[in-house]
Chain A
Amino acid sequence: MRQADIWSGAGLALVALLVLFVVIPTQIESAPDGYVSPRLVPQMMMVLVACLGALQAYNAWRRTPDGDGSLPVTREELLALAKISGVFALALALYLWLSPLAAGIALIAGALIVLGERRIWMIVAMPAGLLLAVWYLFYHVLGTALV
């Protein structure tokens, strides 16, 4: 965790400085006379993060090396993140270009497939069952349109 703490602390300090000197001045106008500046609290928070991030990196750097230079993220988790991101990207594309129904089917069936489900009946039945249940809940029980 030592390496991760050094890198994350230093990274956050840099991000905070970037937000402080670039993002806040360009994204928040200065206040009219007599008002407390709307930049004040965001600036205070970023100064705090910059200082604490640097402190975290320094403290971690001072600690005895634990011999574990690896990141706390496993290969399997990164793979799962990539797969699920892909499914979301596909579902969003279908939502924008086709229909919400297609997006819902793609999300459930896509997630089933990338997580290792290979039984065709399950890949068909689960999206159908969930979409029907949601349709019944909103359009009949709650009496409102979802989309």
Chain B
Amino acid sequence: MEYLISGFGHVLNPVTLFWIAVGVTLGYVLGALPGLGKATGVAVAIPLTFYLDPVSAIAMLIGIAKGSAAGSAVSAILLNTPGEPSSAPTALDGYPLARQGKAQKALKMGLFASVIGDFVSTLILIGLAAPLASYALLIGPVELCAILLFSLTFIGGLSGNSLTKGLIAGAFGVLFATVGIETETFIPRLTFGLLELDEGISLVPMAIGMLAVAEMIVQAGNMRALDQQSTEMRDGKSREDRVVTGAEWRRCLPVIARGSLIGSAVGILPGLGASVGSFLSYGATQRASRTPEKYGTGMIEGVAAAESADNAVVPASLIPLFALGIPGSVIAAILISALVLHGLTPGPLMFQQQPQKVGDLYAALLCASVILLAIGYAGQRLFALVIRVPLRLIIPGVLFLCCIGAYMETSSVFSIYLMLVFTLIGYFMRKFEYSFVTFLIGFVIGPNLELTFRQSIQLLDGKAANLVHHPISIVFILLTVVTVGLIARGNSRATQRAEARAGMEKPKEEQLHI
């Protein structure tokens, strides 16, 4: 607690607050633009933080993540096009509200719900991460290897529609993580004689290519349709249409509380992601309502439910990262490199070795929530205008920033080549529905997975039977097997249902044609 209080002392100064505000503003704008999410924003901004002091740098990145999570509601409400997939349920009621001329009301409720969800989840992070980390210190390489394997499988199974594709993406991520000089034997691996690859592939150009540049290409291909939507929105004239009334607050507060808890619980579990949180919360609110049939026609509670859960996922997803060193989401995976770069290695030991930096980080997280409210409220009308800027003017700027971000990592044009290679990989992964989230997480946990696997082989003397001395690892290996079985069964049933639906729709279509 004393570290948190002194953390506020380090964060509450004009310079750090300025950089948090810059991060929140940047994140809000990026979040409002469809397709440019928090992971993209943080990946592009990491190199910009090289020259900031550690507290300001990490605070700015956290500001981007929080601002972007809240900003994604803007395009969901105004365009019916979520800035990120997790804002899709926001669009279900937000867009009908906007069509009724109540866009300002929906945007305000979205912001308030986002800030409350985010703040509650940050408090849960502060309360849970350190106690969980103290248990994590009791586990050794064999157990950690089993936990990492379980996490990757779990994430692979839940990040897309297909477990097979998720696991393929994760395996490729681990393969790319092996590129470079191997730390035990100093033998170069898969470097093709390129000296630039001796230290391995850098996460920043990879993430920028896969997330940002690939998304820009997809958007460039659909530019006309996206621009058309943004020109069709108008605002209502009465005050009631623009503010959240007391009655609406009373109806929405329990919904926001439930959404915050659902989002936090979902965030703690690796791989579920913000989309699961927001859809679960929306579904729970609809089921609990006396008028569930009205959802989807412009219910303000729908916006509150989705946005509170969506934003609660971000801080909660840092719990497995801080306590175990396992990134539970793509944003956590990207944040690892930023934290390490600024002297904070995520994992259970950071609470013992760098308690003050953890305190600073927590203080920055809480301050970012308050700044998010201030900037979001003051600049909401302005941010809403951003989505009206034609994409042909946005894409060149984003591509330029991507190049700068990739280049700065190594001050070498080789990083730009890497970025372009991973742009192509990312583009085709999107199109063929391979989860790039699992790929990136596989890449980030790959070195640790390999290290603990090698240590496990030595500790177990190469005999699987020796696993009996490591019951925790047996539990996680069994969990991995059960998870694979359950997810595979679920996917197979979903495919059968989809095929059955397609089969039923086909004769109807044929009848209509006759």
On whether the beta carbons of A4 and B432 are closer than 8 Å, the reply is yes
Tally chain B residues at the interface, Cβ within 8 Å: 62
Q: How far is the CB of A132 from chain B (nearest CB, A)?
A: 12
The interface residues of chain A, by DSSP majority, are classed as: helix
* Distance between Cα atoms of A81 and B182 in the complex (Å): 35
Residue-wise, chain B 420-432 has the 8 Å CB interface mask toward A (1 for contact) of 1000000110011
* Distance between Cα atoms of A4 and B430 in the complex (Å): 12
Q: How far is the CB of A115 from chain B (nearest CB, A)?
A: 4
On whether the beta carbons of A27 and B189 are closer than 8 Å, the reply is yes
* Distance between Cα atoms of A144 and B165 in the complex (Å): 43
| A-binding segment of B230-238, B296-304, B336-344, B399-407 | B399-407
Given contacts A8-B432, A27-B190, A81-B217, contact A59 B164 (CB under 8 A): yes
Query: A31 contacts the other chain (Cβ, under 8 Å)?
Result: yes
Q: Which of A97-124 contact B (CB under 8 A)?
A: 104, 107-109, 111-112, 115-117, 122
Q: How far is the CB of B429 from chain A (nearest CB, A)?
A: 10
Which chain B residues border A42 with CB–CB below 8 Å? 175, 178, 189-190
Question: Out of B223, B400, B434, B453, which one reaches A107, CB within 8 Å?
Answer: B400
Query: B416 contacts the other chain (Cβ, under 8 Å)?
Result: yes
* Distance between Cα atoms of A104 and B401 in the complex (Å): 10
On whether the beta carbons of A126 and B396 are closer than 8 Å, the reply is yes
Interface centre among A84, A108, A109, A137 (most CB of B within 10 A): A84
Which chain B residues border A84 with CB–CB below 8 Å? 216-217, 220, 399
* Distance between Cα atoms of A39 and B162 in the complex (Å): 28
Residue-wise, chain A 31-48 has the 8 Å CB interface mask toward B (1 for contact) of 110011011111001101
Question: Out of B218, B408, B413, B432, which one reaches A95, CB within 8 Å?
Answer: B413
Which chain B residues border A49 with CB–CB below 8 Å? 168, 171-172, 175
Which chain A residues border B52 with CB–CB below 8 Å? 142
Which chain A residues border B399 with CB–CB below 8 Å? 84, 87, 107-108, 111
On whether the beta carbons of B220 and A146 are closer than 8 Å, the reply is no
* Distance between Cα atoms of A53 and B165 in the complex (Å): 8
A-B contact count (CB 8 A): 161
Residue-wise, chain B 9-22 has the 8 Å CB interface mask toward A (1 for contact) of 00000000000000
Which chain B residues border A18 with CB–CB below 8 Å? none
Query: B395 contacts the other chain (Cβ, under 8 Å)?
Result: yes
Question: Out of B223, B404, B453, which one reaches A146, CB within 8 Å?
Answer: B404
On whether the beta carbons of B167 and A38 are closer than 8 Å, the reply is no
Q: How far is the CB of B72 from chain A (nearest CB, A)?
A: 22
Query: A72 contacts the other chain (Cβ, under 8 Å)?
Result: yes
Q: Which of B172-191 contact A (CB under 8 A)?
A: 172, 174-175, 178, 182, 184-185, 187-191
Q: How far is the CB of A89 from chain B (nearest CB, A)?
A: 9
Query: A128 contacts the other chain (Cβ, under 8 Å)?
Result: no
* Distance between Cα atoms of A29 and B187 in the complex (Å): 7
* Distance between Cα atoms of A108 and B175 in the complex (Å): 34
On whether the beta carbons of A45 and B171 are closer than 8 Å, the reply is yes
On whether the beta carbons of A112 and B502 are closer than 8 Å, the reply is no
Which chain B residues border A28 with CB–CB below 8 Å? 187-190
On whether the beta carbons of B167 and A48 are closer than 8 Å, the reply is yes
Interface centre among B189, B396, B413, B434 (most CB of A within 10 A): B396
Query: B457 contacts the other chain (Cβ, under 8 Å)?
Result: yes
On whether the beta carbons of B454 and A36 are closer than 8 Å, the reply is yes
Question: Out of A64, A66, A81, A115, which one reaches B427, CB within 8 Å?
Answer: A81
Question: Out of A27, A36, A96, which one reaches B413, CB within 8 Å?
Answer: A96
Question: Out of B165, B174, B397, B407, which one reaches A45, CB within 8 Å?
Answer: B174
On whether the beta carbons of B191 and A27 are closer than 8 Å, the reply is yes
On whether the beta carbons of A77 and B222 are closer than 8 Å, the reply is yes
* Distance between Cα atoms of A49 and B191 in the complex (Å): 20
* Distance between Cα atoms of A29 and B220 in the complex (Å): 43
Q: How far is the CB of B418 from chain A (nearest CB, A)?
A: 13
Residue-wise, chain B 377-417 has the 8 Å CB interface mask toward A (1 for contact) of 00000000000000111011101100110011001010010
Which chain A residues border B188 with CB–CB below 8 Å? 28
* Distance between Cα atoms of A23 and B441 in the complex (Å): 24
Which chain B residues border A31 with CB–CB below 8 Å? 185, 187
On whether the beta carbons of B458 and A36 are closer than 8 Å, the reply is yes
Q: How far is the CB of B252 from chain A (nearest CB, A)?
A: 39
Selected A-B contacts with CB under 8 Å, 29 pairs? A9-B164, A36-B458, A38-B178, A38-B182, A39-B189, A45-B178, A48-B167, A49-B168, A53-B168, A56-B168, A63-B495, A63-B499, A64-B499, A76-B222, A77-B217, A77-B220, A78-B221, A80-B217, A81-B217, A84-B217, A87-B399, A92-B413, A108-B396, A112-B392, A115-B220, A115-B392, A116-B223, A142-B48, A147-B411
6 A-B pairs closest in CB distance: A77-B221, A111-B396, A80-B220, A115-B392, A38-B182, A142-B51
